Amino acid sequence: MNHPHPGYPPEHLPPAPPGHRHGVVPFIPQQAQPGGARPERRAPAQLPAVPPLTAESFDLPRPALVPEGEPVRIGVDNNRCHIYGICQQEAPEVFRVSEGGSLHYTRAVPAQFAAKARQAVRCCPMQAIKIEGGRTRAAGTAGEGLPGRPLRSGASARASRKRIVVAGAGLAGLSAASRLRERGFDGELVIVGEEAHRPYSRPPLSKQFLSGELTAEQMTFRAEEALDAHWLLDTGIVGLDLYGAAVHLRGGERLPFEGLVVATGVDAKRLPEAPLFSDRIRTIRTLDDAASVRRAMDAAAARHVVILGGGFVGCELACTLRARGLDVTLVVHSAPLLRRVLGERVGAVVGDIQGRAGVDVRLGTRITDWQDHGDVLRLRLDDDDVIDADFVVLGLGSEPRTEWLRDSGLDVSDGVLCAPTCHAIDRWGRPTPHVVAAGDVARWPNLRFDAEPRRTEHLIHAVEMGQHAADALLRGPDRAARFAPVPRFWSEQHGTRIQAVGVPALGTDVEITEGSLRSERFVARYTRETAYGPQIVAAVAFDMPLELLEYRDQIGRSRPRSRALNRRSRR
Residue 303 placed within a domain? yes
Residue 199 placed within a domain? yes
Edge-to-edge, what's the strand order for the sheet holding 377-381? Answer: 367-372, 377-381, 386-389
- Give residue 3's pLDDT: 32
- Give residue 272's pLDDT: 78
> What is the amino acid identity at position 97?
V
What CATH number is given to the structural domain containing 340? 3.50.50.60
**ω into 336 cis (within 30 of 0):** yes
- Give residue 26's pLDDT: 33
Q: In sequence order, what DSSP letters do the residues of 63-88 get, joined into one string? A: PP---BSS-EEEEE-TTT-----HHH
What's the rounded Cα separation, in Å, for the pair 234 and 347? Answer: 39
Residue 27 placed within a domain? no
Residue 438 placed within a domain? yes
If asked whether residues 357 and 217 sit together in one domain, one would say no
| pTM, rounded to two decimals | 0.86
Residue 425 placed within a domain? yes
If asked whether residues 219 and 261 sit together in one domain, one would say yes
Residues in the chain: 571
Domain that holds residue 103: 62-132
If asked whether residues 335 and 404 sit together in one domain, one would say no
If asked whether residues 318 and 391 sit together in one domain, one would say yes
Query: Residues 476, 530: contact at Cβ < 8 Å?
Result: no
What's the rounded Cα separation, in Å, for the pair 454 and 237? Answer: 24
If asked whether residues 319 and 329 sit together in one domain, one would say yes
- Give residue 561's pLDDT: 61
- Give residue 299's pLDDT: 79
If asked whether residues 407 and 379 sit together in one domain, one would say no
- Give residue 24's pLDDT: 36
If asked whether residues 264 and 164 sit together in one domain, one would say yes
If asked whether residues 380 and 453 sit together in one domain, one would say no
- Distance (Å) of CA 291 to CA 44, 110, 205, 296, 305: 46, 41, 9, 9, 16
Residue 151 placed within a domain? no
Query: One digit per residue, pLDDT tens: the chain, 571 residues?
Result: 333 333 444 444 554 444 333 333 333 333 333 344 444 444 444 444 444 333 344 456 678 899 999 999 999 998 889 888 899 999 999 999 888 888 999 999 999 999 999 999 999 888 899 999 887 655 434 333 333 333 333 333 334 469 999 999 999 999 999 999 999 999 999 999 999 999 999 989 999 999 888 899 888 887 666 788 999 999 999 999 998 999 999 989 999 999 999 999 999 988 877 776 778 889 999 999 999 988 888 877 889 999 999 999 999 999 999 999 999 999 999 889 999 999 999 999 999 999 999 999 999 999 999 988 888 899 999 999 999 999 999 998 899 999 999 999 999 999 999 999 999 999 999 999 999 999 999 999 999 999 999 999 999 999 999 999 999 999 999 999 999 999 999 999 999 999 999 999 999 999 999 999 999 999 999 999 988 889 999 999 999 998 998 899 899 988 766 544 444 444 4
If asked whether residues 391 and 422 sit together in one domain, one would say no
Strand locations in 280-438, DSSP E? Answer: 281-283, 304-308, 327-331, 360-362, 367-372, 377-381, 386-389, 391-394, 398-400, 416-417, 423-425, 431-437
- Give residue 48's pLDDT: 44
Give the CA radius of gyration of the chain. 24
